[in-house]
Structure 1
Amino acid sequence: MKQHNYQTQITWTGNQGKGTLNYKSYSRSHEILVTGKYKTIQGSSDPSFLGDPSKYNPEDLFLSSLSSCHMLWYLHLCTVHNIIVTQYVDNATGTMEESADGSGKFTQVTLYPIVTIADSNMKELAKSLHEKANQMCFIANSCNFKIHHQPSILIE
């Protein structure tokens, strides 16, 4: 079995002079850096947890990881099946439930890919490949809940 290793660096940038003296004394701001990548991602927590709403939070990145992994597998599968995709947009949604102790977990994600293809004869196959993409997606396979899909297939 092949192994692929990944490494990121997270640097907290939110010390406002008092460190973590109390819950409101620090910013949740941080930087996400991946060696060799073009830009640093500015992160924070969700605004519900005193985060900066203009920055990406872990929940945003988790949902976008699921959506983009699915898309990349889907495009690959379309190539294998000679389906020409000319446009792909996904408006993914997710629900995270917070527990009484402050912990939480995602309980539901639905992907809503809108895929435009060139050949109307391939519409049913194009729609069915979303299930296979879900089975192949590395991120979806790492989740402990089902990822739902409600695809739309348009013809160019």
Structure 2
Amino acid sequence: MTTTHSYHLTVEWTGNQGSGTDGYRTYSRAHEVLADGKAPIAASADPAFRGDPARWNPEELLLASVSQCHLLWYLHLCAVNGVVVTDYADQAQGVMAMDATGGGGQFASVTLRPEVTVADASMVDKAVALHGEVHAVCFIARSVNFPITHQPVVTVG
């Protein structure tokens, strides 16, 4: 039996500066990502596409989703495999390639650079190896069509 989960949110454009989209340069790309019971996410386009650099853009949010999913599944795999993680931070990087026309593009790759601290030196090898198992179970990684690599660093705390 297949279990499904449904996710709902609202994306609301807040960038009408009085004349709507009467010209490419006359409207703001500002918008908010909204969901019941959660703080709004102030978003925009990437600054390269006339967006506000102070707001999150879709490309950053996609990269964040990949990194978050890896984190959550990694912690789960560590917990069920006896690896005690005491700290975790990821310096994720995504690369987007524009097509020849400049009108479109896609993510070409994501590299995750998790820095993990474990409780005991005997856990280091397993902690490194478990990063390789995440891709098979991470919902986001299984849903995208670009390669995701990881370069973990594991230390003992």
Q: TM-score, normalised by structure 1?
A: 0.97
Q: CA deviation at 1:7?
A: 0.6
Counterpart CA distance in 2 for 1:46 and 1:133 is 29
* Cα RMSD after superposing both structures: 0.7
Alignment partner of 1:71 is 2:71: yes
Indicate the residue corresponding to 1:45 in structure 2: 45
**1:8 corresponds to which residue?**
9
| Displaced runs of 4 or more, over 2 A | none
CA distance in 1, matches of 2:41, 2:90: 21
| Residue equivalent to 2:110 | 109
Q: Secondary structure at the match of 1:135?
A: coil
- The DSSP-based 3-state class of the residue aligned with 2:94 is strand
C-alpha distance in 2 between matches for 1:63 and 1:56 = 11
1:119 matched to 2:89? The reply is no
Measure how far apart 1:122 and its partner are: 1.1
Aligned to 2:131: 130
The alpha-carbon deviation at position 35 of structure 1 amounts to 1.7
After superposition, give the CA deviation of every residue in 1:122-142 in whole Å (9 maximum; x if it has no partner): 111100000111211100100
Any stretches of 5+ residues in structure 1 without a counterpart?
none
Alignment of 1:25-104 (within 5 A): 25-37=26-38, 39-99=39-99, 100-104=101-105
Which amino acid letter does the alignment assign opposite residue 7 of structure 2?
Answer: Y
| Identity, % of aligned positions | 50
Quote the offset at 1:51 in angstroms. 0.3
Q: CA deviation at 1:101?
A: 4.7
Counterpart amino acid of 2:51? G
Deviation at 1:97, TM superposition (A): 0.9
- CA deviation after TM superposition for structure 1 residue 36, in Å: 2.4
SS at structure 2 position matched to 1:102: coil
Name the TM-score, length of structure 2 as normaliser: 0.97
